[in-house]
Amino acid sequence: MADIAFLLLIFFLVSTTMDVDTGIYKKLPPIPEKQETPEDIKVKKRNVLAILVNRNDELLVNGELLDISQLREKTKEFILNPNNSDELPEKQVKTVPYFGDVMVSKGLVSLQNDRGTSYEMYIRVQDELAIAARELKDEKAMSKWGKVYSELDKEQQDAVKKYVPMAISEAEPKNVGGKR
């Protein structure tokens, strides 16, 4: 009995791995059905946070050279626009369940990287944006229910998501001064 069990045990030890897969989950946009004329959705300049990453892993956010550690604050400021500045995104009144009529930002984050950008940098930028989004949601959830976002139920989460939308659009890559 013990022999058989040992045999099985050793088999499973050898043939299996313990690692859990973790990662950043993303949904890709589907390819447009037809080759339409370039989309006519014009977005005002103040509503866009343009993040460019070049092949030297340097960050240009709305024409300003930034360090990766500043990106999170910049993104949060962009979405919240606390002082209703003319430079930052417009807001529009929307009705959100639980919150009532609130001012929702029209901001859009646009991310573009070079073919020479390193994968590590790309992930770090994605990560910072994800953290910024999560912190904004946590803030709203905290002030309303006194709980963090992940502890809310589905409907409450949807409401918070509507309140602080985080739209990230990834532009088709440029090939600026780099070989494939």
Partner 1 sequence: MSKFRKEGGKELPEISTASLPDIVFMLLFFFMVSTTMRDVELNVSYLQPQAKELTKLEKKDLVSNIHVGVPLRKYQKTFGTESRIQLNDQFATVDDIQSFIASEREARKEELRNKLTTSLKVDRYTKMGIIVDIKQELRKASALKLNYSALQGADEN
- Which residues are near partner 1 by CB under 8 A? 1-2, 5-6, 8-9, 12-13, 15-18, 20-31, 69, 113-120, 122-124, 126-127, 130-131, 134, 173, 175, 178, 180
The sign one gets for the Cα dihedral 161, 166, 172, 178 is: negative
User: What is residue 123's DSSP assignment?
Assistant: H
In whole angstroms, the minimum distance from the beta carbon of 26 to partner 1 comes to 5
CA distance linking residue 137 with residue 18, whole number of Å: 33
* Of residues 54 and 81, the one with the C-beta less far from partner 1: 54
Amino acid at 122: Y
CA distance linking residue 112 with residue 98, whole number of Å: 35
CA distance linking residue 109 with residue 91, whole number of Å: 15
Cβ atoms < 10 Å from Cβ of 145: 15
In whole angstroms, the minimum distance from the beta carbon of 99 to partner 1 comes to 24
In whole angstroms, the minimum distance from the beta carbon of 140 to partner 1 comes to 17
In whole angstroms, the minimum distance from the beta carbon of 101 to partner 1 comes to 30
In whole angstroms, the minimum distance from the beta carbon of 19 to partner 1 comes to 8
Cβ atoms < 10 Å from Cβ of 148: 14
* Of residues 32 and 82, the one with the C-beta less far from partner 1: 32
Amino acid at 22: T
* Of residues 130 and 148, the one with the C-beta less far from partner 1: 130
* Of residues 8 and 103, the one with the C-beta less far from partner 1: 8
Provide the β-strand partners of residue 48: 108
* Of residues 24 and 93, the one with the C-beta less far from partner 1: 24
